[in-house]
Amino acid sequence: MLKIGDIEMKNRVVLAPMAGVCNPAFRLIAKEFGVGLVCAEMVSDKAILHGNKRTQEMLYVDEREKPLSLQIFGGDKETLVEAARVVDEQTNADIIDINMGCPVPKVVKCDAGARWLLEPKKIEEMVSAVVKVVKKPVTVKMRIGWDEDHIYVEDNAKAVESAGGKAVAVHGRTRQQMYRGHANWEYIRLAKQAVSIPVIGNGDVFTPEDAKRMLETTGCDGVMIGRAALGNPWMLYRTVHYLEHGELLPEPSPSEKIRIALLHMDRLINLRGERIAVREMRKHATWYLKGLPGASKIKDVVTQQETRDGMAEVLLTFVRELEREQAAEQANLQQETA
Ligand SMILES: Cc1cc2nc3c(=O)[nH]c(=O)nc-3n(C[C@H](O)[C@H](O)[C@H](O)COP(=O)(O)O)c2cc1C
């Protein structure tokens, strides 16, 4: 099983931190779909210290989501350490994660995120400064390197370990790759060999079989799933089940997908109010609809919705028509074969 510090997860499947996605509404759904650990979206150290209302919301952890890892990012030791102290003392999170993978220019320009990947010494210095002032276990999420000429994943993982970090998550891409190309799992294997703290593998796990293959080929202790869970928490549930029982459960029906999409929307509304939540829900709704026959036809209508009732009506009408068509096709097929 996956154990980080004293915290034992019930399985090895982890929901990846995703900005704009991993708020309490989606995290709770992921939890209900069985993941062992959920990660919150990254929060800037300076925003934490500034403490505005939006940031306070980002630090909120519902009891039902636990165990939960809350990710912070920053480039200055002083503010990073202070922000970690706030997360340690004032939040219900179980683990403090430090972002060392974010590739976006706005973040790396501040010496934060993936920028650290070039300096194992800085990693050790920053992580140990944080570890010294907090009680919760500290972990790091990193990419394998800056670009293909600067891949220091083993040294970087060792730096986390020697600084007192309790686990490291490794996304098998460089910063330069952004989200292009493939995640190279070989580097996850090398990181696992380099340290004795748990290593969580990440990158391009799109099916339950991918998750099993990653665990087997890299020896990693946990598998972190990001994009494959967008609009598809069943991926998490099916992966947990596949790893435990070797059985592939069927994909959800269209109406089941819409049922969870509506639950997701209602939880977002509780969190943010209807106007903001429905706008946020537009992207989630298109993810929930992905792969359903005819979904592309209603994409534009979905992205224009302003109210809960409007969005619910669009989704429910779509699924009712789809299921009617599917039932008619089935009846035709039965008539032809009779
Ligand atoms: C929309 C989105 C937001 C993300 N936000 C974060 C973040 O806040 N912190 C972080 O460490 N990684 C973030 N990531 C990266 C993911 O955690 C993960 O490393 C990456 O998507 C690769 O995993 P996957 O192939 O399973 O998607 C984000 C990815 C996506 C797609």
pLDDT digits (tens, 9 = 90+) for 49-64: 998 888 989 999 999 9
Q: Whole-model pTM?
A: 0.96
Residue among 199, 227, 280 to mutate when testing ligand 1 (max atoms within 8 A of CB) = 227
Packed helices 153-162 and 186-194: angle between N→C axes, nearest 10 degrees: 30
Q: Decide: 31 and 38 in contact? Cβ < 8 Å.
A: yes
Return the best residue to mutate from 13, 14, 18 for the ligand 1 pocket (most ligand atoms within 8 A of CB). 18
Q: Is 102 a catalytic residue?
A: yes
Distance 201 CA to ligand 1 centre (A): 13
Rounded average pLDDT over 184-189: 98
Among 39, 102, 110, 220, the active-site one is 102
Cβ–ligand 1 distance for 18 under 6 Å, the answer yes
Calpha distance 2→247 (Å, rounded): 21
Q: For ligand 1, is residue 114 a contact (CB within 6 Å)? A: no
Q: What is the pLDDT of residue 52?
A: 85
Q: Is the model's pLDDT at 338 over the cut of 80?
A: no
Q: Ligand 1, closest atom to CA 101?
A: 11
Q: How far is the CA of 18 from the centre of ligand 1 (A)?
A: 5
**Residue 260 clears pLDDT 80, i.e. is over it:** yes
Handedness of CA 57, 59, 62, 65 (dihedral sign): positive
pLDDT tens digits, one per residue of 109-139: 888 888 889 999 999 999 999 999 999 999 9
> Mean pLDDT lowest for which of 49-53, 90-94, 213-217, 334-338?
334-338
Ligand 1 atom with least separation from CA of 41: 8
202 lines ligand 1 (CB under 6 A): yes
Adjacent-strand bridge partners of 145: 174
17 lines ligand 1 (CB under 6 A): yes
229-257 average pLDDT score: 97
Say what the pLDDT of residue 36 is. 98
Q: Which pLDDT band, with edges at 50, 70 and 90, does 194 fall under?
A: very high
208: cis peptide before it, omega within 30°?
no
| Residue 53 confidence (pLDDT) | 87
| pLDDT above 90: residue 330 | no
Average pLDDT over residues 149-164: 97
- Rounded Cα distance between 213 and 223, Å, is 10
Terminal CA-to-CA distance of the chain, rounded, Å? 52
Q: Kindly state the percentage of the chain with pLDDT values over 70.
A: 100
The closest residue, in CA terms, to atom 3 on ligand 1 is 18
For residues 141-157, one letter each, b for 16 or more C-beta atoms within 10 angstroms of the residue's C-beta and e for the rest, the string is bbbbbbeeeebbbbbbb
Structure tokens at 8: 């034992």
